[in-house]
Chains A and B, each alone.
Chain A
Amino acid sequence: NAGVTQTPKFQVLKTGQSMTLQCAQDMNHEYMSWYRQDPGMGLRLIHYSVGAGITDQGEVPNGYNVSRSTTEDFPLRLLSAAPSQTSVYFCASSRLAGGYEQFFGPGTRLTVL
């Protein structure tokens, strides 16, 4: 079991560029989510999905898109990168929504210049 994998580990973008952060899990988890971690602010929920074909917004969804075409994959798209999106991004999955422990990927450190 690889658990939750994220690619890339590091990325530098210029303002206005677009890119996709990849996330995959091999635990057959229904619930997947994306967080961003900024100094002093903990982890903030960007988008989440309770199953294939179902996504919803979290606390800070602006500037990000997601889709969930399979149970395994949950990519996060930055449409037009801005310096305010410089952050560490974590993908997580859990068996179901609600009270289940989330398993986190190793994170992607994104810098937008």
Chain B
Amino acid sequence: AQKVTQAQTEISVVEKEDVTLDCVYETRDTTYYLFWYKQPPSGELVFLIRRNSFDEQNEISGRYSWNFQKSTSSFNFTITASQVVDSAVYFCALSEVNFNKFYFGSGTKLNVKP
């Protein structure tokens, strides 16, 4: 079974629109961490955020915000007022502390058109 599911394969928006990327995870560990990474067209992987399972506070960083809900096992990522430079593949990932492994979702490709 998939540990991390990103159901949206590809999303296209017009610049300045808000967009939310969904991430649903599955784990039996009580202590775990969730991550988002960005992969721009150049191919490198860029870390965006880390949350631990005990901290459900939402986080905002500039135009980016993250909504963590344990009740629905979701860790969604919203970009406000999207820009062309936001065009990339975004990956959600789960780390289970007891198993030393990271699990990545299949990624959501975001296309932001001018």
Which A residues have a C-beta under 8 Å from some C-beta of B? 31, 33, 35, 40-45, 48, 50, 56, 58-59, 88, 90, 92, 97-104, 106-107
Please report B residues at the A interface, Cβ cutoff 8 Å. Answer: 4, 6, 9, 31-33, 35, 43-45, 47, 50, 52, 91, 93, 95, 97, 100-107
B30 to nearest A CB, angstroms? 13
The CA of A34 and the CA of B16, in the complex, are separated in Å by: 37
Closest 9 CB pairs of A and B: A99-B33, A97-B100, A104-B45, A42-B106, A98-B97, A43-B104, A42-B104, A101-B47, A42-B107
Q: Across the interface, do A102 and B105 meet the contact criterion of CB distance under 8 Å? A: no
Say how far B53's CB is from chain A's closest CB, in angstroms.
9
> Once bound together, how far apart are the Cα atoms of A97 and B93, in whole Å?
14
Q: Is the CB of A99 within 8 A of B45?
A: no
The 22 listed contacts between A and B (C-beta, < 8 Å) are: A35-B104, A40-B9, A40-B106, A42-B4, A42-B6, A42-B91, A42-B106, A42-B107, A43-B91, A45-B101, A56-B100, A88-B43, A98-B33, A98-B97, A99-B97, A100-B50, A101-B35, A102-B47, A103-B47, A106-B43, A107-B43, A107-B44
A-B contact count (CB 8 A): 56
A10 to B83, CA, bound (A): 31
Q: Are B44 and A45 in contact, with the CB atoms below 8 A?
A: no
Q: Establish whether residues B105 and A42, one from each chain, have CB atoms under 8 Å apart when the complex forms.
A: yes
**CB neighbours of B50 from chain A (8 A):** 99-101
Find out whether the CB atom of A58 lies under 8 angstroms from the CB atom of B101. yes
C-alpha spacing A58/B3, complex, angstroms: 14
- List residues of chain A with CB within 8 A of the CB of B32: 99
